[in-house]
Structure 1
Amino acid sequence: MEFTASLLLLFLPPLLFLLLAFLNGCQPSSHSEKFPKIYPVIGSIFALVANKKRRIQWTSNLIQISPSATYVLHRPFGLRVVFTGNPANVHHILKTHFSSYQKVDEFQTTFRDVLGDGIFNVDGDSWKFQRQIASHEFNTKSLQKFVETVVDMELNDRLIPFLSEAARKGTILDMQDILQRFAFDNICMIAFGYDPKSLTPYLPEQKFAQAFEEATKLSIERLLIPFPIIWKIKCKLDIGSEKRLRIVVSKVREFARKIVKEKQEQLRKSPSLEPADLLCRILSSGHADEEFVIDIVISFILAGRDTTSAALTWYFWLLSGNPHVENEVVQEIRGKSGSPVYEDVKDMVYTHASLCESMRLYPPVPLDSRQATVDDILPDGTAIKKGTRVAYHAYAMGRSEKIWGPDWAEFRPERWLEKVDGAAGKWGFVGRDSSAYPVFHAGPRICLGREMAFLQMKRVVSGVLRRFRVVPVAEKGIKPRFVAYLTSKMEGGFPVRIEDREE
């Protein structure tokens, strides 16, 4: 009897939705309309469902056609989500009124199974503690060590030999997978002192990575369900996608627990050992809650594995379609002495600009949200009620003519450069305000690891392009499909051939 009642509760929201649709004479919005229709009670439910698989592109389009670059999306039962690509609004939300916009309750609940109380899912003291502990990883000494030891070892001992063998055999590789493996090994070694050895010649099965990928996908699908009560009931009953989420999350946490246990044992045997990595510092700080430490480990794996690999995947694809940019990058690489590595990588101005340009068009985190803790009014006049979710849209902003000009669709690194006075042929990098380019967020929560990410990416680009061409297998003119869970991906991977580059 109790099970029957639970099933009735599970199917009641969809039945209610269909009944309301019938009573209101609702029909799906036509594709010729610019903005989705808004109906009583159910809001723009039809447009939401119709664009579920392309929500980033769809919401980006809505922002592009809005005069203020802000659009208020009506969800069922009077809920609103504000999407904005207006730099003044982003500055307001992330900087000047930071305390009035916190992590979204819905997001925290939805992702608690995967991220727990990790840095990306909390505010307040817990966030401050994790940020303070992590900041030690990003001083100059740590960054130099990261590039000259961890990245270089993985590059020279694993990635380059792997690509060389693929070039020799004419093998087709999934470059997205290869870059994820590379980044995964990097973050585990620098943050936890642990080498998962995922980028080895036989490409071992990555149980953690597969489980993590599925867990983030299933968690995002929770957010896309028009009636959250559905997934909550399924979770309570442990059925369907919620049962599967429980299984894959347990695999993710099992892997993270193994890393923590090994580090605890290492510290137990050598209690006077100076903390050499992030995990050492966390465990040495007195935090005995193992589950909390596991949450932190998972969050840093997400940050280090998924973001840089996503950025590099789209970068190599863009280079393949813009040979003039690739030639400039290769010339800059060949103009470097190769030693010391840290200084060479740091000074690669054109390559740095080309990476910024690539992330403008394909940001690793295309969309992020905050929740208003008070009633407010955004600089463009949009009224915000307490509890409203406000999403700033890096993907849409990278496609804004108001921000980047009429040539915004072009992959043009020169927009980030200017000639240096008195230095013939020398370029200087010109940064953009983070409110107009929130690829690394902005304000107090701006990404601590942005410099580390650039150093890592430039070292990979330098090492790979000095010796190889990365040639997509897809027919010319066929674009990969952009999909986004927590971070952006190429749907189906990025199949390429590796070719030796002639000197």
Structure 2
Amino acid sequence: MNNSLMIDLLSDNARQGVDDLHFVSSLGILFFPSIVFVTYVCLWWHHLMYGKKKGLVVHPIVRTFIAVLWNLEHIHDWMTEQLKEKTSSMTARLVRPGSAAFYLTRCLNLSLPNVKLAHAFDTATAITSSRFFMCPFVWGTKRALNIGSERILHESLRQIDEFAIDMIQKRMQKLLESSTELRSGLNSDDAPEPLSSPPHMDLLSRFMGVATEAEKLRTLDSSGGDDQKRGGYSDVFLRDIVISFLLAGRDTSSSGLSWLFWLLSRHRRVVDAIRAEIREVVKSRNCTNLSTGASKFTYEELKNMHYLHAELSESPRLYPPLPVDTKFSVKEDVLPDGTRIPKGSIVAYASYAMGRMEQLWGSDCLEFKPERWLQNGGFVPQCPYKYAVLQAGPRICLGKELALLQIKLVTTGLINCFDFDVPEDFKPTYEISLLLPMKYGLPTKISPSERES
């Protein structure tokens, strides 16, 4: 190849490179104004929607997602700080990319399952909880493809559904047998014999309409499908009722007891005060054996233990079994502090944060202080919209009194009979869940207590 040919080839390559550069430059000149315009519109829209709002800074595109991930390990404490320090209205706004806003407030106006089922419940609640901190596109795609955590969630929900439907069908069979036995007794000339298994009057049976729909129950086939009616309600509705009660009652009491006994291990005076109250009740019945007497408390005796009641109210104030309770806004609304809630938003009241607000509980809000519930030795309840641990108003927990009674029985029995020694260096933390379970449980050494005889 001669020199002139070589020079011609290099010249051609150089010209081609210049032409390519001109083409790229032309594209940049063409699209740059468009990119600037789109960016401007996005920033303008973002400022219009969030720039003048109170609370957390909502960044373009990533919104508050990075801040949530950064503080995920101590999410409830972080949310408490946001509500205490960065919002005068006590309402914070969390916004995930591609999702409706999540409002964190209820600045409320002050005026029995097997191991397999238990595992399924734990798995379902954990995965469901993780959705709140994940882009909807991610978990939505996994659900559509039935892969990863969403596949596990689907299987867990299937097991829970099977348990609920089985419970409904068995209860239906019991009710049918009781109804048949009752009618046989009424049709005979002799007086009816006592039923071998009296009709159940629990909540599930009441939903089935055992009192008002007896004739309907008699004619129903207990093997019906989802559309089968049970005294006026479908199997799907009854299934949801069963799951709702299981979800509301499972682990809430045990979680609360873990935090309770950790607090008691740090406040010996509270334990002594409860034991003194137990002694007074037992001695009033002329019973000298505290151990025997404490296992036979009546409802009225437990009801009159005012310090015990105060202590069982103070513990969930700081460590509520349900730290955040979420609702879905079916229409546009306005919170008591003036915050506008668009339709389709998620609204949550943070009971964990509410128990740590000086605006509600005073400067000693972080102290474990049962005395704040007492006046002249008697228990004085707080406003339910200030102490919304078990919700308030028409949606207050139906099992509130039963749960409180169970915890009273467990607490009095254990405190009266045992001492609990928790390591001094133990610093509990919570798991990220719909509930507030103590991570790794409560390590404690249990020994018989020295009781008066």
Q: Taking structure 1 as the reference length, what is the TM-score of the superposition? A: 0.65
Secondary structure (helix, strand or coil) at the match of 1:370 reads strand
Mark the runs of 5 or more structure 2 residues left unpaired by the alignment.
1-38, 44-54, 183-197, 214-230, 283-292
Superposed displacement of residue 490, structure 1? 0.5
| 1:251 maps to amino acid | Q
Contact in 1 for aligned 2:278/2:412 (Cα 8 Å): yes
Q: Output the CA distance in 2 between the equivalents of 1:223 and 1:342.
A: 41
Say which SS state the counterpart of residue 437 (structure 2) adopts.
Answer: strand
Deviation at 1:77, TM superposition (A): 4.4
Q: Is 1:384 aligned to 2:341, yes or no?
A: yes
Q: Give, in angstroms, the shift of residue 85 of structure 1.
A: 5.9
Q: Tell whether 2:385 aligns with 1:435.
A: yes
Distance across 1 between alignment mates of 2:162 and 2:328: 32
2:16 maps to 1:68: no
One-letter amino acid of the structure 1 residue matched with residue 88 of structure 2: P
CA apart distance, 1:222:
2.0
The verdict on how the C-alpha distance between 1:38 and 1:279 changes in structure 2, with shifts beyond 3 A counting, is: closer
Q: Does 1:253 align with 2:161?
A: yes
Q: In the aligned structure 2, how far is the partner of 1:398 from the partner of 1:312?
A: 17
Does structure 2 conserve the Cα–Cα contact (< 8 Å) formed by 1:43 and 1:75? yes
- 1:72-471 correspondence to structure 2 within 5 Å: 72-77=93-98, 79-84=100-105, 86-88=107-109, 188=112, 206-226=115-135, 228-271=136-179, 272=182, 273-283=198-208, 284=210, 285=213, 286-287=231-232, 289-337=234-282, 338=293, 341-419=298-376, 427-471=377-421
Which residue is equivalent to 1:487? Answer: 435
| Offset, 1:466 | 1.3
Q: Tell me the alpha carbon deviations over residues 192-242 of structure 1, each in whole angstroms, 9 at most, x when there is no partner.
A: xxxx6x7xxxxxxx121111111111111122212x122222122111111
Rg comparison, structure with higher value: 2
Residue 318 of structure 1 deviates from its aligned partner by 0.6
Amino acid at match of 2:431: V
Contact residue 43 and residue 77 of structure 1 kept, 8 A: no
Distance change in 2, residues 1:242/1:331 (3 Å): same
Query: Aligned equivalents of 1:347 and 1:456: distance in 2?
Result: 15
Aligned equivalents of 1:484, 1:452: Cα separation in 2: 27
Structure-1 separation of matches of 2:99 and 2:205 = 47
Aligned counterparts of 2:131 and 2:311: Cα–Cα separation in 1: 35
Higher RCO, 1 vs 2 (CA within 8 Å, ≥6 residues apart): 1
Instruction: Calculate percent identity across the aligned residue pairs.
Output: 39
Could you say if the C-alpha distance between residues 386 and 245 of structure 1 is closer, same or farther in structure 2, counting changes exceeding 3 Å?
A: closer
**C-alpha displacement of 1:74:** 3.2
CA contact (8 A) 1:398 1:408 kept: yes
Question: 1:332: Cα distance to partner?
Answer: 1.0
Q: CA RMSD in A?
A: 2.5
- Check conservation: 2:64, 2:95, Cα contact below 8 A: yes
CA contact (8 A) 1:372 1:389 kept: yes
Amino acid at match of 1:269: E
CA contact (8 A) 1:85 1:396 kept: no
Count of equivalent residues: 351
Q: Summarize deviations over 1:5-39 as a string: whole Å, max 9, x none.
A: xxxxxxxxxxxxxxx9xx99xxxxxxxxxx75432
Distance 1:357 1:81, change over 3 A: same
Contact in 2 for aligned 1:348/1:458 (Cα 8 Å): no
Separation in structure 2 between the aligned mates of residue 311 and residue 276 of structure 1, nearest angstrom: 28
Secondary structure of 1:439's partner? coil
Unaligned 5+ residue runs, structure 1? 1-19, 25-34, 92-187, 189-195, 199-205, 420-426
The ranges of structure 1 where at least 4 consecutive aligned residues each deviate by more than 4 angstroms after the TM superposition are none
Distance in 2 separating the partners of 1:502 and 1:373: 57
Give 1:348 deviation, angstroms.
1.1
Alignment check: 8 A CA contact 1:307 1:487 kept? yes
In 2, Cα distance between the equivalents of 1:253 and 1:498?
Answer: 39
Give the residue type in structure 2 aligned to 1:446. I
AA aligned to 1:370 is K
TM-score by length of 2: 0.72
